[in-house]
Structures are given as structure tokens and as C-alpha cells.
Amino acid sequence: MLGNYQQTQLRIEIEASASAIRDSLIRSEQLEKWLFPQRFSAGMPEELHSGLQFTSWIGLVGIHHQVEVAKPNCLRLILSQGIDGFHEWYWGEGWLQSRLEGISVLPLSLGQTLNLIKLRQFLKK
């Protein structure tokens, strides 16, 4: 894999319940809304679950995801192709933590920050 090893971890406060945060991360329909313009492979199930594999695209860069863990307060994705690494999400009442680690030419810290801002705005609606 070409690129640099990068790691980033952010924790933010969000005015939302743990279940609303969970639904935004686990329910495919909501995930696709707040991550727009990122695109996802066709045929996504209603909810992400352990063992599920799918691909998303940021422009022309494809990122393969394998859901390793999907629990009421935790989501862990193994990433390959555009990012070789993992993305972990943990959440509770009013907070969200994201940890992203991998090798990529994409600016992971910038992407993670922008995505958390978009998620916070999505949950304010």
C-alpha cells in the first residue's frame, strides 16, 4: 500500500442520545446521508452487523470495509484498499469518540475531523 502511516483519535460532545448516535453510525440510510458525498456499494442492509463487507468511494478512491464489531456502543471497521487499517467508534449519552489508524495517501486526520463535524450537524436536525 502506498501512503503514510497515520493515526488520529478525536472525542467530541454531541447534543444527542446514545441511541441517536448509534443509529447514525449503524443504520445504512442515516450513514449515507451524513457521509454524503461519500458513496456506498449497492445492496447495503438496513443495519451494519459483524461480518458485513462493503465498499465506499471518496471520489475515485475505493475503501473496502469489513465490520468486525457492531455493538450498542461500539463499531469497529477493518479497512483496506484506499486505507489499510481500522476505524473504531465508541459513544454514549452526549459524546462520541473516533479512532482511525492506517496507511493511506488520503489525509486521515482532516477527513475524520470533517466527518465528525458533519455528524454533529446531522444530529442537530
Split into its structural domains, the chain has a count of 1
Express as a percent the part of the chain with pLDDT over 90. Answer: 93
Structural domain containing residue 25: 4-124
pLDDT of 1 reads: 67
pTM over 0.85: yes
The mean pLDDT of 107-117, rounded to a whole number, is 94
For residue 80, the domain's CATH number is 3.30.530.20
d(CA 112, CA 6): 12
Question: What is the per-residue pLDDT across 55-111, written as a single tens digit (0 to 9) for each?
Answer: 999 989 999 999 999 999 999 999 999 999 999 999 999 999 999 999 999 999 999
- Is the pLDDT assigned to residue 35 strictly greater than 70? yes
